[in-house]
């Protein structure tokens, strides 16, 4: 069930919010847990049992890990979580790779396994919890209902952000009170939904048409239009989802950390990864890059670590070669920047770097991310080259440039131009003068009217990050 | 004092924001409770409420049905659809929804029906056209009492309407029409009842399609039904084009959904006129048959019932699985009517016209009976390999006999070489398939004389092997 699905907005969410708001104390976490399991069951049926197993297993194991005891038990716990992820997400891919060498057909065994929605997210939360308990960064939670509410909390269950227990435990124990935080959460939710429905979806229709063009029939202009549309779509889709998750969390009195900080305003890829999907990149930094040695060893080992982390980051996004290549592509840029710039350009607000280095590099990377497979990605990149066929848009693509799509592309492109310090999300969160406050209220009212119209009369479109 | 006013004012603004979101979330449910259910769009019905048990099932079909049932019934939704399109039309100068696009000013046309409305899926289109051609070949060879009635798209009859935004879909309309015409051309005067030429003629004398709807007008529909009746009875029923007509202002779902509740003045049949009743009376056909139709024949539902009093009726959207097998076997004629834009999407294996659908299986039964009746098929010879087999030359229909032994549920697939130049000798659409149960199965099939001398390929899916094959005249 996606957050822009009418069933979520108009059936599930009102009931869940009423249930959570009307309960207090331990009952409140019980209400969160019940609503979250119901939410998961609605979309995924009995796959909810995997989530229940994850709650029970990790809650139980953590008590034996406290205070740095039994490192083998930590390895066991992490392995069980990752094996679960591996079975449901990667078994088919790796069996296919193996079959390529052996000529066997073992991949068929895993073909029918459906990927439980959000398994990558809750597995990473569970592993971080076990590691933090083992390191002594957080105490094992005694209350299984509270822990279950944390691991399954529906706003961030299926598409993040990846929330660490130590960051939110106190909010689950005593939710942050106050009208201000709840109204701020409501505003954030509306803003996120608007980003998704009014910008990401219409831009996505243009991207879909361009990426669906048969090989050899895509001109250079269409290829660049497609990748521009996708660059807008993925940011507004994913950051919109994070806004909604953060907003819903606040409405329930639970504060999540930010997941996006204007990534397209970066000057370098290194900076980009500090602003894009922050909860994932910091997870990999803390639980993979640093344990591998980070940058404390030789330069060569630092580069090795970067490549390992980004290959795994790519694989985390999808069990397919194009994701691995996308990860390695970013890893290569980060290694190159480390070697050439030595961090000098990191905090420079150089518009030239943004437009002539960062954005083209990120956009080319998105081709690997969006294409159906590696061969399609290479063909698409070929079409983007200047020597490729003409500038005209064929009718199939021209058709997708509807009024709303053009508005979405233009509005979405503003994100490339805005100075780094300015963001609509930050503006909405900041306390302003009374006239500004009423302006925000007017924005919410206008956005909600458009959203109601689009959501009820339009086509349903799932979030991109649901597949990870 | 000022400070406290500011605090109060700020709190009020925050409360308003929370209230707006709360209103947004509960408004649809509240509108259903207060305003009741909306009436379904014409010729549609609401998704039924699912059973409580289905909501608890692992499969999420029940939960999806609940969401659809809820949305279908919202008056608010209907109003918003209309409101949105009324806003979009003047702002963007065109309407382009998932199904309908604006053409010449004041005219709406349906989009060409292809996978995801994308004309680049020509392989899918070719596959569907091949499948249609094969269905007609098999029906013709079996002499099955089958008729395919095709209601043309408005864009086919009124190509000048494809201006404005609809111009962007021009090549797509042509691609679909070209392939459809190629597939039906050999059967134009036998199995296929193509209403397009008739409507082109009628257009010379007046409007045959509505402006703000994609359906034909009542008089045009009656003329088309007359053409269908003519094919069933062998008599000329062109008299319908002279039925008494009035002018009336009509609304319609499409106008509601897409533009405005504007009423357009269109010719309607004068059903009160005794001449009209007499016309229907005089042309009544008492044959017992089956008509599977869409909203085009439904335009003239009363006339259709009066003209074919003994026929049984099925609407596509009410019976996707098709009629019962027994109903088909008792029918003296079977008419499958579809609008051009949807026809090629009705041919997948699981649709009623597909080989697993009841209509597809009825055609295969008819074909098997014909093979038994018209050919002298001896015992099948063992089939040494599953490579291509050349059929004997003949100027009469050919019959195939295939013996298969299965150890469990399996399928037999027969691929037939296509005629003329194409993408290759075989294609996905040029194949027939049968579901096999455990044990021995005997498959018989009649093919048209045009298949003589060409090759076929046989293969099985699942635990089955072909134990014998023969072809004869």
pLDDT tens digits, residue range B164-179?
888 888 888 888 888 8
Confidence bin at B469 (pLDDT 50/70/90): confident
Does residue B286 carry a pLDDT above 50? yes
Give residue A462's pLDDT: 44
pLDDT band, residue B221 (cuts 50/70/90): very high
| Interface touch B20/A437, C-beta < 8 Å | no
Q: Confidence band (pLDDT; 50, 70, 90) for B321?
A: low
CA B215 to chain centre: 14
Please report the residues numbered 145 through 174 in chain B whose beta carbons come closer than 8 angstroms to any beta carbon of chain A.
Answer: 168-172
pLDDT 10s digits, B15-47? 999 999 999 999 999 999 999 888 776 556 788
How far away is chain B from the Cα of A437, in angstroms, using its nearest Cα?
A: 7
Q: What is the pLDDT of residues A387-418, one digit of tens each?
A: 656 667 777 788 888 888 999 999 999 988 88
Contacts 24+ apart (CB under 8 A), A101-107: none
The residues, any chain, with a CB within 8 Å of residue B446's CB and separated by 6 or more, are B138, B141, B142, B367, B368, B370, B371, B374, B375, B397, B398, B399, B400
**pLDDT for position A326:** 96
- Find which of A9, A47, A396 to mutate to test the B interface (most B CBs within 10 Å of its CB): A396
Taking alpha carbons only, the member of B455, B321, B439, B339 closest to residue B387 is B455
Residue partners of B278: CB distance under 8 A and separation at least 6: none
**Portion of chain A with pLDDT greater than 70, in percent:** 94
Nearest to A403 among B91, B120, B172 (CB): B91
Query: Is the predicted pLDDT of residue B269 greater than 60, yes or no?
Result: yes
| pLDDT-based confidence at residue A172 (cuts at 50, 70, 90) | very high
Question: Nearest-CA residue of chain B relative to A209?
Answer: B118
Q: Which residue of A has its CA nearest to B15?
A: A183
**Any idea which of A69-73, B51-55, B60-64, B439-443 has the lowest mean pLDDT?**
A69-73
Mean pLDDT of A352-364: 93
Q: Look at residue A325 and tell me whether its pLDDT is greater than 50.
A: yes
Between residues B139 and A431, the one the model is more confident about:
B139
B44 touches A at CB < 8 Å: no
Contact A456 B63 (CB under 8 A): no
Say yes or no to pLDDT of A94 above 50: yes
For B73, the closest chain A residue by CA position comes to A456
Residues of B in contact with A6 (CB under 8 A): 28, 67, 70-71
Summarised one tens digit per residue, pLDDT across range A239-292 is 999 999 999 999 999 999 999 999 999 989 999 999 999 999 999 999 999 999
Residues in B closer than 8 angstroms to A445, CB to CB, are: 20
Contacting B residues, span 50-69, partner chain A, CB-CB under 8 Å: 57-60, 63-64, 66-67
- Please state whether the peptide bond connecting residue A276 to the residue before it is cis, i.e. omega within 30 degrees of 0: no
CA distance A18 to A252: 10
The answer to whether the CB atoms of A456 and B18 lie below 8 A apart is no
Q: Check CB contact under 8 Å for B81 and A457.
A: yes
The beta-strand segments (E) located in B318-428 are: 333-339, 389-390, 398-406, 410-416
Structure confidence by residue, pLDDT tens digits, A118-155? 899 999 999 999 999 998 899 999 999 999 999 999 99
Residue with tokens 């296919």: A96
Instruction: Pick A186's closest partner by Cβ from B17, B29, B77.
Output: B17
**Is residue A56 predicted with pLDDT exceeding 60?**
yes
Q: Does B92 lie at the interface with A, CB-CB under 8 angstroms?
A: yes
Nearest alpha carbon to residue A187 among A448, A12, A414, A451:
A448
Q: Are strands B245-250 and B192-194 parallel, antiparallel or unpaired?
A: unpaired
Cβ B84–A402 below 8 Å, yes or no?
no
| Residue B231 scores a pLDDT above 50 | yes
Among all chains, which residue has been given the structure tokens 């009160």? B272
Cα–Cα distance measured from residue A342 to residue A286, given in angstroms and rounded to the nearest whole number: 21
* Record: contact A396-B29, CB cut-off 8 A: no
Which tokens hold the place of A128?
A: 């971080």
A349 to chain B nearest CA, in Å? 35
pLDDT of residue B210: 87
Q: List the single residue in A6, A45, A217 with the smallest CB-CB distance to B58.
A: A45
Closest CA to B199 of B250, B160, B251, B241: B241
Rounded to two decimals, the pTM is 0.79
> What's the CA gap between A185 and B70, in Å, rounded?
27
Span A68-89, average pLDDT: 88
Mean confidence (pLDDT) of chain A:
88
H or E element in which residue B364 lies: helix B358-374
Banded model confidence at residue B382, pLDDT cuts 50, 70, 90: low
Q: Do the chains contact at A434 and B13, CB–CB below 8 Å?
A: yes
Rounded to whole angstroms, what are the CA distances from A400 to A226, A409, B121? 11, 12, 16
Give chain B positions within 8 Å (CB) of A398.
168
Angle at B103 between CA B99 and CA B106, to 5 degrees: 105
User: What is the per-residue pLDDT for A347?
Assistant: 61
Task: Give CA–CA dist A120/A110, Å, rounded.
Answer: 18
A414-418, A459-463, B380-384: the lowest-pLDDT one: A459-463
- Tell me, yes or no, if A330 is annotated catalytic: no
Position A465 scores a pLDDT of 47
Among chain A residues, CA nearest to B122: A214
**Mutate which: B4, B15, B54, B67, vs A, most A CBs within 10 A:** B67
| A396/B17 Cβ within 8 A | no
Question: Is there a contact between B58 and A217 if contact means CB atoms under 8 Å apart?
Answer: no
Give the whole-angstrom CA distance, residue A16 versus residue A33: 10
Predicted confidence at residue A460, as pLDDT, reads 42
**Distance between CA atoms of residues B422 and A452, nearest Å:** 49
d(CA A299, nearest CA chain B) in Å: 50
Cβ of A448 within 8 Å of Cβ of B20? The answer is: yes
Q: Centre a 10 Å sphere on the Cβ of residue A291 and count the other Cβ atoms it contains.
A: 10
Q: For residue A200, which phi and psi values (nearest 5 degrees)?
A: -65, -45
Chain B residues touching A3 at Cβ < 8 A: none
Structure confidence by residue, pLDDT tens digits, B73-125: 888 888 888 788 777 777 777 777 777 788 888 788 887 765 444 566 677 77
Q: How far apart are CA B435 and CA B354, in angstroms?
A: 12
Q: B-chain residues within 8 Å CB-CB of A211?
A: none
B62 — alpha (psi -120 to 50), left (phi > 0) or beta? Answer: alpha
Mean pLDDT, all residues of chain B: 83
Q: At what angle do helices A119-135 and A144-152 cross, to 10 degrees?
A: 130
- Chain A: closest CA distance from residue B111 (Å): 12
Tokens of A362: 């990120």
d(CA B100, CA B87): 16
The per-residue pLDDT for A387 is 67
Q: How far is B27 from chain A (nearest CA, A)?
A: 8
Helix extents (H) in B215-356: 218-233, 253-254, 274-282, 295-298, 301-307, 325-330, 340-343
- Average pLDDT rounded to a whole number, residues A146-174: 92
Q: Is B123 on the interface with A (CB under 8 A)?
A: no
Contact B76/A at CB under 8 A: yes
For residue B442, the cross-strand partners are B403
Q: Kindly identify which residue of chain A lies nearest to residue B62, measuring between CA atoms.
A: A42
Q: Do A402 and B96 touch (CB under 8 A)?
A: yes
Percent of chain A with pLDDT over 90: 59
SS3 sequence, chain A?
CCCCCHHHHHHHHHHHHHHHHHCCHHHHHHHHHHHHHHHHHHHHHHHHHHHHHHHHHHHHHHHHHHHHCCHHHHHHHHHHHHHHHHHHHHHHHHHHHHHHHHCCCHHHHHCCCCCCCCHHHHHHHHHHHHHHHHHCCCCCCCCHHHHHHHHHCHHHHCCCCCCCHHHHHHHHHCCCCCHHHHHHHHHHHHHHHHHHHHHHHHHHHHHHHHHCCCCCCCCHHHHHHHHHHHHHHHHHHHHHHHHHHHHHHHHCCCCCCCCCCCHHHCCCHHHHHHHCCHHHHHHHHHHHHCCCCCCCCCHHHHHHHHHHHHHHHHHHHCCCHHHHHHHHHHHHHHHHHHHHCCCCCCCCCCHHHHHHHHHHHHHHHHHHHHCCCHHHHHHHHHHHCCCCCCCCCCHHHHCCCCHHHHHHHHHHHHHHHCCCCCCHHHHHHCCCCHHHHHHHHHHHHHHHHHHHHHHHHCCCCCCHHHHC
Q: Chain B: give the shortest CA distance to residue A319, in Å.
A: 25
Helices A321-340/A299-317 angle, 10° precision: 150
Band (pLDDT 50/70/90 cuts) for residue A461 is very low
pLDDT for the residue A248: 94
Query: Could B58 and A395 be called an inter-chain contact, meaning their C-beta atoms sit closer than 8 Å?
Result: no
Number of Cβ pairs < 8 A linking chain A and chain B? 125
Contacts of residue B25 in chain A, CB cutoff 8 Å? 9-10, 13-14, 17
Residue A103: pLDDT band (50, 70, 90) is: confident
Closest CA of chain A from B58, distance in Å = 4
- Residue B367 in tokens: 């074909």
CB contact under 8 A, B80 and A453: yes
In order of A92, B129, B133, B179, B194, the CA distances from B185 in angstroms are 47, 12, 9, 10, 10
pLDDT at A275: 93
Catalytic residue among A134, A317, A330, A347: A317
Would the CB atoms of A440 and B60 count as touching at under 8 Å? no
Of A14, A395, A437, the CB nearest to B171: A395
């Amino acid at each position: 069930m996606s957050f822009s699905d009418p069933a979520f907005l108009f059936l599930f969410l009102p009931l869940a919010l009423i249930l959570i708001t009307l309960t207090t104390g331990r009952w409140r976490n019980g209400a969160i847990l019940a609503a979250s399991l119901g939410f998961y069951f609605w979309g995924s049926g009995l796959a909810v049992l995997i989530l229940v197993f994850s709650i029970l297993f990790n809650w139980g194991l953590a008590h034996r890990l406290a205070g740095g005891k039994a490192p083998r038990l930590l390895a066991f716990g992490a392995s069980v979580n990752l094996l679960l992820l591996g079975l449901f997400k990667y078994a088919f891919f790796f069996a296919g790779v193996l079959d390529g060498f052996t000529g066997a057909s073992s991949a068929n065994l895993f073909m029918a396994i459906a990927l439980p929605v959000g398994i990558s997210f809750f597995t990473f939360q569970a592993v971080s919890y076990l590691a933090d308990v083992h390191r002594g960064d957080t105490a094992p939670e005694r209350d299984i209902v509270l822990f279950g509410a944390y691991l399954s909390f529906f706003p961030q269950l299926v598409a993040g952000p990846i929330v660490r227990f130590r960051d939110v435990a106190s909010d689950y124990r005593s939710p942050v009170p106050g009208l201000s935080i709840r109204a701020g959460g409501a505003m954030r939710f509306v803003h996120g939904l608007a980003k998704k429905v009014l910008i990401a979806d219409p831009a996505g229709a243009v991207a879909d048409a361009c990426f669906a063009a048969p090989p050899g029939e895509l001109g250079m202009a269409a290829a660049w239009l497609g990748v521009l549309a996708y660059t807008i779509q993925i940011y507004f889709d994913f950051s919109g989802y994070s806004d909604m998750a953060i907003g819903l969390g606040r409405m329930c009195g639970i504060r999540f950390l930010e997941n996006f900080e204007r990534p397209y305003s970066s000057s370098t890829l290194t900076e980009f990864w500090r602003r894009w999907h922050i909860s994932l990149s910091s997870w990999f930094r803390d639980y993979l890059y640093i344990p591998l040695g980070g940058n404390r060893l030789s330069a060569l080992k630092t580069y090795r670590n970067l490549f390992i982390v980004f290959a795994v980051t790519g694989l985390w996004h999808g069990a397919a070669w194009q994701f691995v290549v996308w990860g390695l592509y970013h890893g290569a840029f980060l290694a190159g920047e480390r070697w050439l710039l030595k961090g000098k350009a990191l905090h420079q607000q150089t518009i030239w770097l943004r437009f002539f280095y960062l954005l083209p590099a990120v956009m080319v990377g998105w081709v690997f991310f969006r294409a159906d497979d590696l061969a399609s990605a290479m063909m698409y990149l070929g079409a983007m080259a200047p020597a490729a066929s003409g500038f005209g848009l064929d009718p199939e693509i021209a058709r997708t440039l509807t009024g709303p799509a053009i508005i979405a592309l233009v509005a979405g492109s503003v994100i490339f131009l805005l100075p780094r310090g300015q963001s609509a999300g930050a503006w909405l969160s900041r306390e302003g003068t009374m006239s500004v406050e009423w302006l925000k209220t007017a924005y919410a009212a206008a956005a909600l009217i458009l959203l109601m119209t689009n959501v009820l009369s339009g086509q349903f479109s799932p979030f991109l990050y649901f597949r990870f | 004092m000022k400070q406290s006013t500011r605090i109060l004012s700020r709190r009020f603004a925050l409360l308003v924001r929370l209230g707006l979101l709360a209103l947004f979330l509960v408004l649809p449910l509240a509108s259903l409770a207060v305003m009741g259910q909306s009436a379904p769009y014409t010729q549609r019905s609401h998704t039924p409420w699912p059973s409580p048990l289905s909501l608890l099932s692992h499969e999420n079909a029940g939960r999806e049905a609940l969401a659809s049932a809820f949305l279908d019934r919202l008056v608010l939704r209907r109003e918003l659809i209309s409101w949105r399109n009324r806003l979009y039309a003047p702002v963007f100068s065109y309407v382009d929804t998932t199904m309908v696009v604006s053409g010449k000013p004041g005219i709406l046309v349906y989009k060409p029906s292809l996978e995801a409305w994308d004309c680049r899926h020509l392989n899918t289109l070719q596959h569907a056209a091949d499948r249609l051609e094969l269905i007609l070949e098999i029906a013709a060879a079996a002499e099955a009492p089958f008729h395919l009635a095709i209601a043309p798209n408005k864009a086919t009859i009124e190509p000048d309407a494809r201006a404005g935004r609809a111009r962007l879909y021009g090549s797509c309309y042509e691609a679909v029409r070209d392939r459809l015409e190629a597939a039906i051309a050999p059967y134009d005067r036998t199995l296929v009842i193509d209403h397009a030429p008739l409507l082109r003629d009628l257009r010379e004398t007046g409007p045959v399609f509505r402006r703000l709807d994609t359906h034909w007008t009542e008089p045009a529909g009656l003329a088309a039904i007359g053409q269908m009746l003519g094919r069933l009875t062998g008599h000329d029923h062109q008299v319908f084009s002279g039925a008494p007509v009035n002018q009336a202002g009509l609304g319609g779902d499409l106008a509601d959904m897409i533009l405005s509740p504007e009423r357009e003045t269109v010719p309607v049949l004068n059903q009160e006129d005794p001449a009209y009743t007499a016309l229907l009376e005089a042309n009544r056909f008492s044959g017992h048959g089956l008509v599977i139709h869409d909203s085009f024949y439904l335009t003239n539902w009363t006339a259709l019932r009066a003209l074919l009093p003994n026929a049984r009726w099925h609407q596509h959207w009410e019976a996707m699985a098709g009629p019962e097998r027994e109903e088909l076997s008792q029918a003296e004629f079977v008419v499958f009517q579809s609008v051009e834009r949807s026809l090629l999407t009705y041919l997948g294996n699981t649709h009623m016209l597909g080989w697993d659908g009841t209509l597809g299986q009825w055609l295969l039964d008819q074909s098997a009976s014909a093979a038994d009746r018209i050919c002298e098929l001896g015992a099948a010879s063992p089939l040494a390999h599953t490579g291509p087999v050349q059929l004997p030359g003949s100027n009469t229909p050919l019959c195939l006999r295939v013996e298969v032994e299965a150890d469990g549920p399996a399928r037999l697939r027969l691929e037939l070489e296509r005629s003329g130049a194409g993408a290759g000798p075989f294609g996905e659409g040029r194949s027939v398939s049968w579901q096999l149960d455990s044990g021995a199965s005997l498959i018989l099939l009649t093919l048209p004389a045009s298949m003589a001398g060409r090759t076929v390929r046989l293969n099985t899916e699942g635990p089955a092997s072909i134990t014998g094959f023969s072809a004869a005249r």
